With several copies, the nearest count.
Chain A
Amino acid sequence: MKLLYFAWLKQKIGIAEEDITLPDDVATLGALVTWLKSRGPGYEEALGDLAVVRFAVNQDFAGLDHPLSDSDEVALFPPVTGG
């Protein structure tokens, strides 16, 4: 699975993207977030307040209950501020 991070999530996690193998027991975005937070303090800090984190699966906005498969592209970022 391809993971992308933007804005301050990218800064806190320290990388812009990474390829991971989705663990068998991670079936939703919410489970992915829990799993990511276990991977280190950068992830834990970036994902500490999910009220200010948004998610996209295959480039569409998605909620924490969205199902995942290993071929998905998943992005994590703050609420958008363009325009």
Chain B
Amino acid sequence: MIRIQAEDFDVGAEMAAMNGDGDVGALASFVGLVRGGKGDEKIGAMTLEHYPGMTEKKLAQIEAEARTRWPLEDCLIIHRFGRLEPGERIVMVITASSHRQAALEACAFLIDWLKTSAPFWKLEERSGGEEWVEARASDDQAAEKWAANK
């Protein structure tokens, strides 16, 4: 399941909702937060812009791909948009499977792919004004690793 929303989410409640029945023995999760920085390198708030419609389409494709690759009992992706302060949750991925390997790998896959194929853009508030975050080559490499390991 995927959800794109401005509101915060409750990680514990979402995970609890995924272990109700059957054969779930492993829940893996990833939560991305707005970093606050340390000492002199304090980071301000950021605003997440997205492409409504395409975001849903891409996240649904990514989820379907993960379910093809691993035997998942359940899968949830939540991504927020709008203005977020340091410490706030941006994104969450939860995967549920019978065994841990599938849950852990699928979770890493989902966040790696989401980083490079979900249409979100971060605008950071800095001391010198606003600045769009640049994409990192390491994110492309992380996603390509999964393409090679298909």
Which residues in A have some Cβ–Cβ distance to B below 8 Å?
4, 6-8, 56, 59-61, 75, 77-83
Contacts and interface: CB of A to CB of B under 8 A. Distances in A.
A83 B25 CA distance: 10
A79 B115 CA distance: 10
Interface residues of B, number: 29
A75 B79 contact: no
A6 B53 contact: no
Interface of B: 32, 48-51, 53-54, 57-58, 79, 90-91, 100, 111, 114-123, 132-135, 139
Contacts, number: 71
A81 to B, nearest CB: 5
Given A4-B51, A56-B119, A81-B122, 13 more contacts: A6-B49, A6-B121, A7-B121, A8-B132, A59-B58, A78-B132, A81-B120, A81-B121, A81-B135, A82-B115, A82-B119, A82-B121, A83-B100
